[in-house]
Each structure stands twice: as C-alpha cells, then as structure tokens.
Amino acid sequence: MIDTKKLTNGRHNRTLSCNVAEILTRRIVSGEYQVRSKLPTERLLSEEFGVNRHAVREALKRLEAIGLVEIKHGSGIYVQPLHLTAGIEIFDAMLFRMDGTLDPVILSNMLDFRRHVMINLTELSVQRRKPRQLGRICRVIDDICFNRRKNLMEDEGELFYNLFENIAAATQNRVYSLVFITLSQVFRNIRATLSDRLPDDRFGTEDLMKLREAFERSDKEAVSEIISRWLSVMETALAPYCVPEENSPQE
C-alpha cells in the first residue's frame, strides 16, 4: 500500500485526493498507463492507496478537468493524450520524482526551455509594447527601486512577478502569458523544494535601470543581454542538480 501522506514534494496542506492525483499523473506522464488504456476501478485504487473512494473520485475528477483522463460512466476511466491544458500538473509530474527530488534530465530540459521562452518573450515585448504597457513596466521598475532605497523589501517578490507579467502581456500574445505563468509556478515549486540552497536571483538595481532604459529605447539586443545574464544566475545554481542521476548530489 502506498503512503499518500508522504508524497508532498515538500509542500504542505495537500489533501489526500491531491496526492492520489499526483501519483496517477506521474503514471500517465511516464507511460505506465498507456494512452486509451483503462485505469483500475475506484475500488482498486482506493485499496492500493489506502484512502476512501471519495478521495479517489475527487482525484479522478481533477485529472479529468485537466484533460488527462475521460470518465465514461458505466464503462470506466480512460487515459487521454497529453495536452497543454494539463499545465502545471504535467510539469510537476515530470520534474519531481516520487521521493520529492528533482529529475536531473527534466530539470536540464526545463532550464533550456525557460531560457528560450524568456528571451524570445522579452524581445517580442520590446518590439510590440504599446505606450501604456511601457508605462506599466517602467512604473513597476520604479516601485522596486524606490522600495529598495527605503529598505521596504517585503513585496519585492510580488513586484518582480508583476514586472514579468507586464512584459509578457506586452507581447500581445496570450500564449506567451500563459506559458510565463506556468513557468513561474514551476520555478516557485523548485525554489520551495530546494529552499535555502538557491541564491536570490532577482535583478540588481543597476540591471533594472538598464532594463528600463532598453525598453524605452526599444533596444532588443540590450534587453536580451540583461535577461540572459539574469537567467544565468539560476542556471548556475541549479547546474549541480542537472548532472546524470548516478552523479547527482546526495540529499
């Protein structure tokens, strides 16, 4: 019997149904449950996980909501092809192993994907930003710099999220905004898992002002250089976790 209470990846206040959904998601993503195959019944899953059938039913509804399974009443639960609608649940299932540690290959893939997305996103934002959107980007940067001068750091994390949210919106491409939100949550989960082992990767004040000036000048190359330098901080910090499994750091 699987102890579902232990499968939290370092994140607390998760319900039993969330843990069951996480295990089933991993099995689908890994191919253990093949596309179009039929899942075990609620009764069998309930017995395997040691939870009541209500928790299993809620977990299956969660998987159906994100498009991983189709529940056919009177017939069974069937695995569906993976779609982008699965969002953060799919990324988490790929990135975090059953013991809560990071999969080094997927982490490396994720960092590579993040670099391409964030650089392309910011370059497109510089090209397409409208005056009102430029104003919002500049105001957030000004707020961050003002708070730093006053040593008001409590809201800085949220302000940085707002900065990139506005940059993503300035692309005039809703898919980029959706991908940014998903990537942000994935890397928040990574930071929560590794906690104090990761450095502060927020922009320095000098780079923030350079970013502001580059957006005002519509200087795509300058923006790309600043974003690349920022991405390198997290990439360097996570490099030890991207090595092959047999050489990965011991917890």
**29/134 same-domain check:** no
The whole-chain average pLDDT of the chain stands at 86
Q: What is the CATH number of the domain that holds 133?
A: 1.20.120.530
Q: State pLDDT tens for residues 164-212.
A: 999 999 999 988 887 888 888 888 888 888 877 788 878 899 999 999 9
Does the residue 96 lie in any domain? no
pTM of the predicted protein model: 0.70
**72/181 same-domain check:** no
244 pLDDT band (50/70/90 cuts)? low
**161/216 same-domain check:** yes
pLDDT at 4: 56
Look at residue 248 and tell me whether its pLDDT is greater than 90: no
Last residue of a domain, one of 82, 112, 137: 82
b/e sequence 192-209, b meaning 16+ C-beta within 10 Å: ebeeeebeebbbeeeebe
Q: What is the CATH number of the domain that holds 29?
A: 1.10.10.10
Instruction: Return the higher-pLDDT residue of 85 and 245.
Output: 85
**117/189 same-domain check:** yes
Does the residue 88 lie in any domain? no
Token pair 């092809």 in the structure block, residue: 81
According to DSSP, residue 78 is labeled E
Does the residue 90 lie in any domain? no
Q: What's the domain range around 229? A: 101-247
Look at the alpha carbons of 58, 60, 64, 65 in this order and tell me if their dihedral is positive or negative: positive
pLDDT at 155: 82
Domain count, the chain: 2
**40/150 same-domain check:** no
**59/136 same-domain check:** no
pLDDT at 9: 47
pLDDT at 90: 75
Nearest to 17 by CA among 54, 48, 43, 66: 54
Last residue of a domain, one of 82, 109, 125: 82
Contact between 200 and 153 (Cβ < 8 Å): no
Q: Locate the DSSP E strands across the chain.
A: 69-72, 76-79
Does the residue 94 lie in any domain? no
Last residue of a domain, one of 47, 82, 117: 82
Does the residue 211 lie in any domain? yes
Q: State pLDDT tens for residues 26-83.
A: 898 878 998 889 999 999 999 999 999 999 999 999 899 888 899 999 999 999 886 6
Contact between 197 and 182 (Cβ < 8 Å): no
**60/135 same-domain check:** no
**115/235 same-domain check:** yes
